[in-house]
Structures are given as C-alpha cells and as structure tokens.
Chains A and B, each alone.
Chain A
Amino acid sequence: MLQVVALGLAVLFLLVGALFLPFLKISVRGISNTSSIFDAALAFSGPELGWLSVGVMAMIVGIPLARVGLILYALAPLLYDVPLLRGARTAFRWAENLRPWSMAEVFILGVGVALVKIVDLAHVDIGPAFWMFVALVVITLLQDTYMCRWSIWRELDRAPEPGARREVAK
C-alpha cells in the first residue's frame, strides 16, 4: 500500500515536470524546433482533427494524471488509519476502469518509432522531459504490477466509512 501511494506521488511530480520541459529538439542546417509533450498532443489542428488532439492529450496526460489522483485519493487515508474519504471506493473503481485508456507507455514506444523515422532527416536532441517521461512509464508499470487489486479491495472493505470519524472520537 505504501509503495502504491509513493509511486503515485512520484508519477504526479514527473508528469507535471515532463509537461513543461522541452521533450525533443530537432535541427537541420541551423533551423531548429523544440517540442514539448503539449505540442505533440496539440499537433492535430483544424476542425476535424482538433478532436483528435483532445483525445491524444487525454490518453497520454489527462487519464494517467486522473488515475494517479484517484488512486491517491482512495488509498492515502488507509496509510494513516483515518476514515476513508467520501467516494473513495468509487474513485478506486474509476482508476481501474480507466486503466486501458491510459496510454503513456504506448506513447513512449511511438516516440521511439518517430525518432527512427526522423533521425535520417535531421539531428535530434533528447530533452529532460523525455527521460522524465520514460521514468514515469517505468514507475507506472511497476505500480500496476505491485498493486494487487484484490488486497486493496479487502483493505477498502475493512477501512472505516467516511462518517465513522465521530464514532471513533467517542
């Protein structure tokens, strides 16, 4: 449980950092272009493709972020033996339901493929955000393997209800 919460916090920091630092930079004959993850997600502009930007943004940033938030919300109270926050179980269920739609690791593999395509064309510099994102994917995978759904559900079952605080005080 501690591992899950700790890894979740790490993901949160890495993700926010990775968003704003430069991700990749290419240069050909003096002309260069730096791109962040935001730029990649917002690459699809125009009337029809705009929706794709929203979707891509959600899949590589929004949903991973939401999952971490939901998991922390649901599990952090367990660490301190305080009553669950309101709707903690629903939060954890949503975190699990969103799992297939969180595609950060697919994105990283996509970056790899794109790099191979571009390398012939131009010189590519890898920015700090790239490494942060790679670390983030590794941590997310670790978190998903460490996290045993069944034991978490059991813990959530045992934990006191949101309103139980007053009873404990008595």
Chain B
Amino acid sequence: MSARRTYSAITARQMGLVGCTHCTKVWPKGTERCGRCGQKLDSRDRRSLSRVWAWWSIGLMAYVPANLYPMLVTKTFLGTQEATIVGGAVDLALHGDYIVALVILFASVAIPLSKFVAIGFLALSVQNNWRGSGLRRMQLYELVEFIGRWSMIDVFVVAIMVALVQLSVVVTIQPGPAALAFALSVVFTMLSAISFDSRMIWDSVADLETARGVDPGSAPRADDVQVPAARGPLTPPDAVPAPPTKTPAE
C-alpha cells in the first residue's frame, strides 16, 4: 500500500471493556457471559490459534484420502468404474461439459486448497506479526468464512446421484470412501475458520504501529475520548458553533 494509514481507532479492550462477538454489545472487562445473548465473553481468545491449527491439520489430513479414494463407483453391465474427484471432473470435461467440470474443480479443489492456504496465512501472520494491510486480511477472513460451506456441494452431488441412479441392472452408482473424507475435511476447515479470532488481526496491526512509533501519539487515549473538552483549543473554532446556528433556522 502506498499511503500508510494509521489506525487510530480505539478498541474496547483499551477502554477496559469487552465486546460480545455475537451480538456486539459491550460489557465491563471480566464479565463472563454476555448478559443479552448468553455468549461466552473473552476479550482475546488466547487458545484461538491452537484450535485453528488443530482443526486445520485434521482438515488437511482428511483432504488427502478425499482425493486419493474414489468418490463415485458406477456399476453398469459393462463393468465397474471408479472416479475420484479430479477424475470425475476430467471425465466431464472430456464429455464437453466444461462449465460443470469447472464448477466441480473450483468447488472441490480450488476452494479447499486456497482455504488451507488462506487460514494458514492468517494464523501465521497473526502469530508472527507480519506487516500487511489489516483490512485486506479481514476481507480474506470474511471470504474464507463465507465460502467454506460451498465446498460441500460435491458431497451433495454424490448423495443425489446415488439416490437417483439406482436402475437395477442398467446402471447403479455407489458412494466411495472419499465422500466421507471430503465431507469431514470441509467440516474441519469450517471449524478452523470459525475458531479464528479475527480481532487478533487488528491487534497485530496495532502492535506493529506501536513498534514503529507511529501510533502512540495519534491513537486517542481513553481520557481523550471521555473528556473531549480538554482538547478544546485544538478544535477549529467555527466547527463547533456551526450546528447550533443551523438548527433554530430550520
């Protein structure tokens, strides 16, 4: 980024408060549960990263058999045919269904792989205080969270095919072991993404700014916010009287 922005926003944590991650109501620090929605409150979840990595690694583990074992077993009177995820997409492409093949490759290869990379990158960047735009990382996180469930599409395709194509001798389709592995992999990566505490992104940004010596002056302190009058002489003189003169006229 060309222009280095300074993040002068004040966080709930700096004001001795804790925000509910679910309904966003803020409570005094130390409150155990949100009094409104009952969500457990935690200013920063220390164990968040361990959970992210735990889910991430079993997700990755499940992803390997998901690609090696067959997803669909097609039995016709000519014989039995087994297709893996990539194999099935290649078959479709050979039949000329490029768009569907692309959808499948995208949903079951591109999305899961990029999800692993994205979650790993986010966790590493927070752990090691990598420099980088906090906004971009937040957007990446939201994208990963949004897109995760769409990987499940391949499992549903298998389910429908298996339920539908049961035509005694002509053709039957059976699910392969990869279906379970793939479903588990998707579920685990979704859990991994959910475990990530996105507030850590902004903490790492704030840490960097402090380390560089940019922030301390520009970040409003708690007292500044509570007593704005203390900075009276610094505010432009015409900015404050303007609103009162307008309101009676209207």
Interface residues in chain A, defined as those with a beta carbon under 8 Å from any beta carbon in chain B? 24, 26, 28-29, 31-33, 35, 39-44, 48-49, 51-52, 55-56, 59-60, 89-90, 92-93, 96-97, 100-101, 103, 106-107, 109-111, 113-114, 116-118, 120-122, 149-150, 153, 156-157
Chain A's nearest CB lies how many Å from the CB of B101?
10
The CA of A92 and the CA of B36, in the complex, are separated in Å by 11
A153 B160 Cβ-Cβ under 8 A:
no
B25 A110 Cβ-Cβ under 8 A:
no
Q: Which residues of A contact B145 (CB under 8 A)?
A: 100
B23 A24 Cβ-Cβ under 8 A:
no
Counting from the closest, the 5 A-B pairs by CB-CB distance are: A110-B156, A43-B162, A114-B160, A39-B163, A40-B163
Chain B's nearest CB lies how many Å from the CB of A80?
22
A122 B167 Cβ-Cβ under 8 A:
yes
Q: Which residues of A contact B167 (CB under 8 A)?
A: 26, 28, 31-33, 122
Given B37, B150, B152, B177, which contacts A153 in the complex, CB threshold below 8 Å?
A: B37
8 chain-A/chain-B pairs, Cβ below 8 angstroms: A31-B168, A40-B156, A43-B158, A52-B175, A97-B22, A100-B149, A110-B155, A122-B167
The CA of A121 and the CA of B157, in the complex, are separated in Å by 15
Chain B's nearest CB lies how many Å from the CB of A49?
6
Q: Is B170 an interface residue (CB 8 A)?
A: yes
The CA of A58 and the CA of B42, in the complex, are separated in Å by 30
B window 43-97: CB within 8 A of A: 92, 95, 97
Interface residues in chain B, defined as those with a beta carbon under 8 Å from any beta carbon in chain A? 22-25, 36-39, 92, 95, 97, 100, 103-104, 145, 148-150, 152-168, 170-171, 175, 177, 179-180, 183, 187, 190, 194
Q: Which residues of A contact B150 (CB under 8 A)?
A: 106, 109
A110 B153 Cβ-Cβ under 8 A:
yes
**A52-B155 CB under 8 A given contacts A24-B164, A103-B149, A106-B150:** yes
Q: Which residues of A contact B168 (CB under 8 A)?
A: 31
The CA of A67 and the CA of B95, in the complex, are separated in Å by 40
Given B37, B95, B153, B170, which contacts A29 in the complex, CB threshold below 8 Å?
A: B170
Interface of A is mostly: helix
B175 A153 Cβ-Cβ under 8 A:
no
The CA of A43 and the CA of B161, in the complex, are separated in Å by 9
Count chain B CB atoms within 10 A of each CB in A26, A33, A110, A157 and give the residue with the most.
A110
Count chain A CB atoms within 10 A of each CB in B103, B152, B183 and give the residue with the most.
B152
A49 B100 Cβ-Cβ under 8 A:
no
B38 A149 Cβ-Cβ under 8 A:
no
Chain A's nearest CB lies how many Å from the CB of B87?
13
The CA of A92 and the CA of B37, in the complex, are separated in Å by 8
> Which residue of chain B has its CB nearest to the CB of A153?
B23
A35 B163 Cβ-Cβ under 8 A:
yes
Seed contacts A29-B170, A153-B25; 14 additional CB < 8 Å A-B pairs: A31-B168, A39-B164, A40-B159, A43-B159, A43-B162, A44-B175, A90-B38, A93-B23, A106-B156, A118-B165, A121-B165, A153-B24, A153-B37, A157-B36
